[in-house]
Amino acid sequence: MVAPIPAPGATRRDLLRLMLAAPLLAGMSIEACAATPLRLVALDLLATELLVSLGVSPVAVANVALYRRLVAQPALADDVMDLGPLLEPNAELLQAIRPDAIVMAAWQAGPLRRLREIAPLVPLDAASAGKSGVAQATGLLVQLAELTGRKEAAQVLASQLEATFAEARTALAGRTRRSLYVGRFAQDGRTVALFGGTGLIGDSLSRLGLVNAWRGRVNGSGVISVGIDQLAGDPEARIVHFDRGVETRNALARLADNPLWRALPAVKAARLTMMPVIYPNGGVASALRFVRQLVESLPHDA
């Protein structure tokens, strides 16, 4: 099959639509065909993180405050416009921005298909059958790098991630023989979201040679919400949890009055590690931060 050839004078949107429709054009970047940088918007936290990681500053993103609270790094530029909620982006503002493409999560593509009238949609699958979280994040980075002409940046990040895993595995070897529960506490002081399986967090632990204390089922994103009593399943484990600011402070205050919490072996032995928030459904940058923070925060456990 011969790939379609853009007509003379084709706009960047025309080129992008051809690229998305024709796999044989996957090796062509629209950036290479344009005199000015792409004007992209992102409607999902992962999409935003991936673009910024590549050095591409979106013109606008959905829910700026949520990104800065849950993802934080890489940081958004101060002048990035806020499109509002993830599932209810401001269509009028999108029309005014006239982006070249709208990058979003695959789950948003159906509910927000009307946005195709404004610009081509670029849906990203955060999870893929048979692919681990780290491999999927790296694949999405490459996909956006091909679209934006940032292949070299993607290669640098992928190499950096591989090197960081290798260095961290060496640094952590022998430091602890304990398994780890990794999660975030809900404000109710009764439940915790635990990460496992082959999601980004679970996969990262495996690549580091660490044992995940949670061996139960998780959803497609590698997370499950359970009662805090489940943290007693492995009495020798350490609990690692993410600091989500006010939400975590409220959770810890309620947990302090919870007899089940106080009775947990890890709590009694003060085997608790709190680290800055990591977006568990994030990309390569989130994986890098998680690995580095583990190296910085995990003590030498007997």
Domains of the chain, residue spans: 12-158, 176-297
Q: Indicate the pLDDT class of residue 2, thresholds 50, 70 and 90.
A: very low
Dihedral-angle region of residue 264 (phi above 0 means left; psi in -120 to 50 means alpha; beta otherwise): beta
- What are the pLDDT digits (tens) for 173-207? 988 889 999 999 999 999 999 999 999 999 999 99
> Looking at the domain 176-297, which fold is it?
Rossmann fold (3.40.50)
- pLDDT above 50 (res 298): yes
pLDDT for the residue 127? 78
Structure tokens at 239: 């609990």
The whole-model pTM stands at 0.87
Q: Average pLDDT over the chain, rounded to whole?
A: 89
Same fold, 12-158 and 176-297: yes
Give me the CATH code for the 12-158 domain, please. 3.40.50.1980
> What's the farthest any 2 CA atoms get from each other in the chain?
72
Rounded (5°) CA angle 218-222-226: 45
